[in-house]
């Protein structure tokens, strides 16, 4: 293998052959190519892109770089993935609801990094195990219909190497690298139905609608070529999706929703995504039929009961389903007040995510420990009118100095205006193998 020649080809904007891509992935997986050469090729890909054939080949080779699972779960194994955001707790809402409707959810999730939260961290904040052995993972799905675990070391190992390099070489925002990273893990995990939540807005990895749509189309095409049922929803991230931001706080909001005590955009998106999972599972024929089934599971409490079963099965404290209020406790609990009267005109969602990180709810480095208690609850959304001194949010902090830092960041992230502001768009489009449907 002449790796400098591979770098040169992509540097000169030439398409890489399937053999060159296979050599690239193999070198990342087995360590035979040094990091500095891998990083050089990643930057060349970031600058010059990949065509559809290259991206699909890269994804398939990354999936094959480790174990390829063929899960026997007593039905069609389905999975959902979000491109990341703030207050995005859809997994903990839709997974139990879909399982209550008979779906078999084999969910692979990750940890938070940067301004985005991670489902694994949320689960661990209530004592759940997230490193399930494959046998236990599959048995749990067969028995209760759902399990959520972190990615095993044997699954798409090339992605682990390349993801770490992307994070440190400013190549995270490359469409072919994002698409191949996400889809390689989903293909390797054996999911036959895959639903993608592609975020749009200030808190998204692709802030513009055009960029998010291109990413969604690429991932749907990759999955379809691999013989999987794939759909993607483009949803808004110009403000936190849920009102709760922070690990235990987000678990609390999911439980509040499943208890029928809360609603709003988080539930709306969860139902839309869940309906697509039921379609991929062969349980519903249309989104409307899928949402009706999910709403029934919400109303009769079977979704909450399924969450209780999943928490208990994975070693967590299932009593939080009966007493979610215990999840909203921290040494310092204080409001951030609106500095003046006005309409909430804009939120910089990434800045709000970084405020949560500063409190200790997220990581600046992968090795950082998180504080599961901290975060904040938003008391307003874009378009709302507030009086001077009214709470923008309530902060849960470990100490007063952390509150002061987060307060400054939150005030900087929220723009108030004298004139009325429109609500942010929540649902943009549905992308399937058949095409794009504007919502």
Residues catalogued as catalytic: 81, 159, 166, 181, 185
| Three-point CA angle 336, 360, 169, nearest 5° | 115
Strand arrangement, sheet containing 332-337: 244-245, 375-378, 391-397, 332-337
**Radius of gyration of the CA atoms of the chain, in A:** 21
């Amino acid at each position: 293998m002449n790796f400098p020649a591979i770098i040169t080809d992509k540097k000169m904007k030439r398409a890489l052959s399937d053999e060159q891509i296979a050599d690239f992935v193999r070198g990342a997986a087995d360590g035979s190519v040094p990091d500095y050469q891998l990083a050089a090729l990643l930057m060349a890909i970031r600058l010059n892109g990949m065509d559809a054939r290259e991206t699909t080949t890269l994804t398939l080779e990354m999936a094959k770089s480790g174990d390829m699972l063929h899960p026997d779960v007593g039905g069609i194994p389905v999975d959902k993935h979000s491109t990341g955001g703030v207050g995005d707790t859809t997994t903990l809402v839709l997974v139990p609801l879909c399982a209550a409707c008979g779906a078999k959810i084999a969910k692979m999730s990750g940890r938070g990094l940067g301004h985005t939260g991670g489902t694994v961290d949320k689960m661990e904040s209530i004592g759940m195990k997230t490193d399930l052995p494959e046998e236990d993972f599959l048995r749990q799905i067969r028995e209760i219909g759902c399990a959520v675990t972190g990615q095993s070391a044997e699954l798409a190992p090339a992605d682990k190497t390349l993801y770490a390099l992307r994070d440190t070489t400013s190549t995270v925002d490359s469409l072919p690298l994002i698409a191949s990273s996400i889809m390689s893990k989903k293909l390797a995990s054996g999911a036959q139905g895959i639903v993608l939540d592609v975020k749009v807005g200030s808190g998204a990895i692709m802030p513009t609608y055009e960029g998010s749509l291109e990413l969604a189309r690429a991932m749907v095409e990759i999955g379809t070529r691999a013989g999987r049922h794939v759909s993607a929803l483009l949803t808004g991230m110009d403000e936190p999706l849920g009102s709760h931001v922070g690990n235990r706080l987000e678990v609390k909001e999911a439980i509040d929703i499943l208890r029928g005590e809360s609603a709003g955009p988080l539930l709306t998106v969860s139902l839309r995504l869940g309906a697509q999972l039921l379609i991929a599972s062969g349980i519903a024929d249309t989104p409307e039929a899928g949402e009706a089934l999910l709403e029934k599971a919400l109303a009769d409490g079977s979704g909450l009961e399924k969450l209780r079963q999943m928490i208990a099965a994975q070693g967590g404290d299932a009593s939080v389903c009966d007493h979610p209020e215990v999840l909203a406790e921290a040494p310092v609990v204080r409001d951030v007040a609106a500095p003046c009267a006005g309409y909430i005109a804009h939120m910089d969602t990434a800045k709000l995510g970084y405020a949560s990180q500063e409190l200790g709810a997220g990581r600046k480095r992968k090795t950082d420990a998180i504080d599961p208690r901290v975060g904040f609850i938003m008391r307003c959304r874009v378009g709302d009118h507030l009086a001077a001194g009214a709470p923008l949010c309530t902060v849960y902090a470990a100490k007063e100095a952390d509150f002061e830092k987060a307060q400054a960041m939150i005030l900087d992230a929220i723009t108030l205006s004298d004139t009325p502001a429109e609500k942010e768009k929540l649902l943009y489009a549905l992308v399937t193998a058949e095409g794009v449907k504007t919502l």
